[in-house]
Chain A
Amino acid sequence: MKGVAAQLPDGARLSPLLLVRGMESPLVWIGILLLLVFLGLFLSVLSREDLSFVLPVLSVGYILNVASARVFLHEPVSPVRWAGTVFIVLGVVMVSVTARATARAARAAEGATGAAAPAAGTGAAGASVAEAEDPPC
């Protein structure tokens, strides 16, 4: 979009014309395609994991954002911004540890109640989807 904006006169840089011209750029279409891929993967992960686990872990994207701004767009990255990425990494590590703990607790609960109790969260519809599909990989 920065490339598209640079080709327009100054006054048109905030106009709808920018959106129309943006549609002509293959990079914008690649971006839209990648957004759709993101949405599909996000939904798939949400079907399997807690929202309170997925959201913090997804913030790894902010680190990739900072790194790619530095590497590909040659934007300057301030020490404050790098410090922010360190906080995100620490936070994600902490949240990831809780995922293992939750899985262990779920297995323990399953073992305690026996195999007779189906997964309450997924329900009958979820069970039929899981049965009909191949295992991952």
Chain B
Amino acid sequence: MLNVLLLAVLVLAEGASDVCVTRAMKSVGEVNTLVPRELLRIGRRVLATGAFRLGLVFMATGFFAFLALLARVDMSVVVPATALIYVVSMLGAKYVLKEEVSTLRWAGTALVCLGVVLTSLP
């Protein structure tokens, strides 16, 4: 039961982190430069956004849930299960970020999920 709970925390936190970080980057604007000084300036602006900080908190939560799960369950079970993050992130992209997700993109993502599960099996 605790394992299922940890997996739910991992998947939801990673999905939420993807959505928050994307929102932060979209609010800062397109990164079109390779000049270090400009990149540093953009980095500071990204760090100042609440969405990015929230994303970092979710990222850390997901990471620790991942570590806790690895301590209890085999990696060959945990890593395929993390393919669920794609599903949560896609739902977040569609319903929170209001992205247009076509049927082809859903189908492609489903194939990727299946592929991630297969490549992670022992």
Residue A113 lies at the interface, judged by CB distance under 8 Å to chain B? no
Q: Is the CB of A46 within 8 A of B26?
A: yes
- In chain B, what residue has the closest Cβ to A62? B119
Residue B46 lies at the interface, judged by CB distance under 8 Å to chain A? yes
Secondary structure at the A interface, as helix, strand, loop or mixed, is: helix
Q: Is the CB of A85 within 8 A of B29?
A: no
What A residues does B102 contact at CB under 8 A? 98, 101-102
**Residue of B86, B110, B112 with most partner-chain A CB within 10 A:** B112
What B residues does A95 contact at CB under 8 A? 104-105, 108-109, 112
What B residues does A136 contact at CB under 8 A? 32-34
Q: A43-B25, A91-B109, A125-B27 are in contact. Are A133 and B33 (CB under 8 A)?
A: yes
B: contact size bracket: 35 or more
Q: Is the CB of A125 within 8 A of B32?
A: no
**Alpha-carbon gap, A83 to B31, bound state (A):** 36
A-B pairs, 10 with minimum CB distance: A126-B29, A84-B118, A94-B108, A87-B115, A91-B111, A88-B115, A84-B119, A91-B112, A129-B29, A95-B108
- In chain B, what residue has the closest Cβ to A134? B33
Q: Is the CB of B99 within 8 A of A52?
A: yes
- In chain B, what residue has the closest Cβ to A90? B111
Question: Which residues of B (93-122) have their CB < 8 Å from a CB of A?
Answer: 93-94, 97, 99-102, 104-105, 107-122
Q: Is the CB of B105 within 8 A of A53?
A: yes
Residue A34 lies at the interface, judged by CB distance under 8 Å to chain B? no
Residue B30 lies at the interface, judged by CB distance under 8 Å to chain A? yes
Binding site for A on B (CB under 8 A): 18-19, 21-22, 25-35, 38-39, 42-43, 46, 86, 89-90, 92-94, 97, 99-102, 104-105, 107-122
* 15 other A-B residue contacts (CB within 8 Å) besides A55-B90, A87-B118, A122-B29: A48-B30, A50-B99, A59-B86, A62-B120, A80-B118, A84-B118, A84-B120, A91-B108, A95-B109, A98-B108, A126-B27, A127-B29, A129-B32, A130-B32, A134-B35
Question: Which residues of A (29-62) have their CB < 8 Å from a CB of B?
Answer: 40, 43-44, 46-48, 50-53, 55-56, 59, 62
**Alpha-carbon gap, A62 to B121, bound state (A):** 12
**Alpha-carbon gap, A91 to B118, bound state (A):** 13
